[in-house]
């Protein structure tokens, strides 16, 4: 199964119409989003990745009337036998582990990378389900193998099961029921109740997940950013050579209040610092992301490879830009004018070939920008 980068995934709906009419607004079902789809990702891949220490996975079973959840990493023996109760295993960030999953995510590039999060894949045996629930984020649900019935609700108010370890709606009212076959795609905006139940013993569903920073998160991280970037001299202490005798020693005098107000008002930020904050915030890698660093090398040696082999971003790398400022995994990169075009291409396409007729000086400048990223494991050569 090969995917074309230019594959259109929304059937008869254009990307533009999707954004205007459906995105964050209402559900959309697309039959045969990919015709004759055969999942290159198998349940075996999932079980293998779920054993990995860095993988994020969950096993969900409905047993004796209670929804139960176990968190990975799992051993092979942790997985229930098929003939037991219906069960579901969900593994996140599959795009960090399998190149096909990464190329599948590319089909959703009509949503900016700042919002696109990961590809989660779930496997369920017949009747396997994670129950009726709603999510805070947008999601595309792509049926990759087997069949899954989806019930969708239109209700705004939900009651939740207090006994359950996972979020379960107890007053779910079905508005639509659809059975998704391989190649079918369902888009759901945040807070739409949904209930998927596997209809086969080989049900694989890909969930294209999105991210959205919270207002509190933005504000509290901005305060951290301001603190990290303070340039105030730590040895500056409060001084009061004109201290007057005061009647009430417990009273905070007006001079002190005025001076502290002035100090607080010295905290300043401008568009530039806010932009840097935004770039760093949105390129922060996921928690626990580890990058393999390389041994130091000279720019000369690096450039020899650079003109021969294409470069790609590590699947865990987040790279974005604002005008000519580039941010990669939470760091700001200083780039010279000639390198900007290449960095934009690397950020957009997540890979780049430098075979062009760059002169020696410009090639060297680009090498100086890229080498530290290579040594940090943020980018790698395609062998």
Task: State the minimum distance, in angstroms, from the CB of residue 338 to Mn ion.
Answer: 46
Sign, CA torsion 167/49/37/23: positive
Where in 157-186 is the site for Mn ion (CB under 5 A)?
none
Q: Using alpha carbons, select from 82, 79, 72 the residue that is nearest to residue 51.
A: 72
Task: Pick between residue 189 and residue 285 the one whose CB is nearest to Mn ion.
Answer: 189
Task: State the minimum distance, in angstroms, from the CB of residue 18 to Mn ion.
Answer: 20
Task: Pick between residue 136 and residue 356 the one whose CB is nearest to Mn ion.
Answer: 136
Task: Pick between residue 160 and residue 375 the one whose CB is nearest to Mn ion.
Answer: 160
Choose the stretch contacting Mn ion; rule: CB under 5 A; options: 33-41, 128-136, 213-221, 288-296: 128-136
Task: Pick between residue 195 and residue 342 the one whose CB is nearest to Mn ion.
Answer: 195
**Residue 223 three-state SS:** helix
For the beta carbon of residue 129, count every other beta carbon within 10 angstroms.
21
For the beta carbon of residue 56, count every other beta carbon within 10 angstroms.
20
Task: State the minimum distance, in angstroms, from the CB of residue 233 to Mn ion.
Answer: 51
- DSSP letter string, 151-196: EE---S---B-TT-SS--BSS---SEEEEE-TT-EEEE-TT--EEE
Residue 135 binds to Mn ion (criterion: CB under 5 A): yes
Residue 284 binds to Mn ion (criterion: CB under 5 A): no
DSSP 20: I
Task: State the minimum distance, in angstroms, from the CB of residue 188 to Mn ion.
Answer: 7
State how far the Cα of 124 lies from the Cα of 59, in Å rounded to an integer: 10
Task: State the minimum distance, in angstroms, from the CB of residue 168 to Mn ion.
Answer: 12
Tokens 């939470």 locate to: 330
Where in 233-272 is the site for Mn ion (CB under 5 A)?
none
Choose the stretch contacting Mn ion; rule: CB under 5 A; options: 104-112, 118-126, 135-143, 309-317: 135-143
For the beta carbon of residue 290, count every other beta carbon within 10 angstroms.
9
Task: Pick between residue 30 and residue 168 the one whose CB is nearest to Mn ion.
Answer: 168
Task: State the minimum distance, in angstroms, from the CB of residue 173 to Mn ion.
Answer: 17
Tell me the site size for Mn ion, rule CB under 5 A.
1
Strand partners, 121: 91, 206
Choose the stretch contacting Mn ion; rule: CB under 5 A; options: 38-46, 129-137, 178-186, 318-326: 129-137
Choose the stretch contacting Mn ion; rule: CB under 5 A; options: 110-118, 130-138, 212-220, 257-265: 130-138
Where in 47-106 is the site for Mn ion (CB under 5 A)?
none
Sign, CA torsion 115/124/36/94: positive
Task: State the minimum distance, in angstroms, from the CB of residue 145 to Mn ion.
Answer: 18
Sign, CA torsion 52/54/55/60: positive
Where in 8-27 is the site for Mn ion (CB under 5 A)?
none
Residue 202 binds to Mn ion (criterion: CB under 5 A): no
Q: Using alpha carbons, select from 122, 57, 60 the residue that is nearest to residue 86.
A: 60
Cis omega before residue 96 (within 30°)?
no
Task: State the minimum distance, in angstroms, from the CB of residue 63 to Mn ion.
Answer: 20
Strand partners, 42: none
End-to-end CA distance of the chain: 21
Task: Pick between residue 135 and residue 201 the one whose CB is nearest to Mn ion.
Answer: 135
* Chain residues that interact with Mn ion, rule: CB under 5 A: 135
């Amino acid at each position: 199964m090969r995917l074309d980068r230019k594959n259109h995934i929304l059937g008869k709906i254009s990307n533009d119409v999707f954004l205007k009419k459906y995105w964050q607004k209402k559900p959309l079902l697309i039959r045969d989003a990919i015709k004759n789809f055969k999942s290159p990702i198998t349940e075996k891949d999932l079980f293998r990745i779920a054993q990995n220490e860095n993988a994020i996975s969950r096993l969900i079973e409905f047993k004796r009337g209670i929804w139960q959840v176990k968190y990975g990493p799992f051993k092979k023996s942790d997985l229930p036998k098929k003939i037991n109760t219906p069960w579901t295993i969900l593994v996140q960030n599959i795009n960090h582990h399998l190149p096909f999953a990464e190329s599948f995510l590319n089909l959703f590039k009509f949503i900016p990378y700042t919002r696109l999060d990961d590809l989660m894949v779930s496997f369920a045996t017949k009747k396997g389900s994670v129950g009726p629930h709603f999510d805070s984020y947008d999601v595309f649900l792509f049926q990759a193998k087997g069949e899954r019935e989806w019930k969708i609700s239109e209700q705004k108010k939900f009651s939740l099961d207090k006994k359950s370890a996972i979020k379960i709606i107890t007053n779910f009212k079905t508005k639509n029921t659809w059975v998704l076959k391989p190649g079918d795609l369902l888009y759901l905006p945040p807070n739409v109740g949904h209930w998927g139940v596997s209809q086969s013993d080989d049900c694989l569903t890909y969930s294209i997940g999105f991210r959205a920073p919270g207002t509190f998160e933005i504000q509290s991280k901005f305060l951290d950013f301001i603190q990290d970037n303070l340039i105030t001299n730590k040895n500056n202490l409060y001084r009061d050579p004109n201290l007057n005798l005061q009647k009430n020693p417990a009273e905070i005098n007006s001079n002190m209040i005025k001076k502290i107000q002035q100090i607080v008002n010295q905290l300043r930020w401008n568009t530039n610092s806010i932009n840097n904050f935004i770039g760093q915030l949105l390129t922060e890698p996921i928690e626990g992301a580890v990058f393999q660093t390389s041994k130091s090398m000279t720019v000369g040696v690096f450039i020899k490879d650079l003109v021969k082999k294409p470069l790609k971003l590590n699947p865990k790398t987040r790279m974005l830009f604002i005008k000519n400022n580039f941010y990669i995994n939470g760091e700001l990169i200083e780039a010279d004018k000639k390198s900007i075009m290449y960095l934009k291409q690397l950020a957009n396409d997540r890979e780049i070939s430098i075979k062009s007729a760059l002169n020696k000086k410009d090639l060297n400048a680009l090498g100086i920008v890229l080498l530290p990223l290579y040594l940090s494991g943020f980018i790698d050569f395609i062998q």
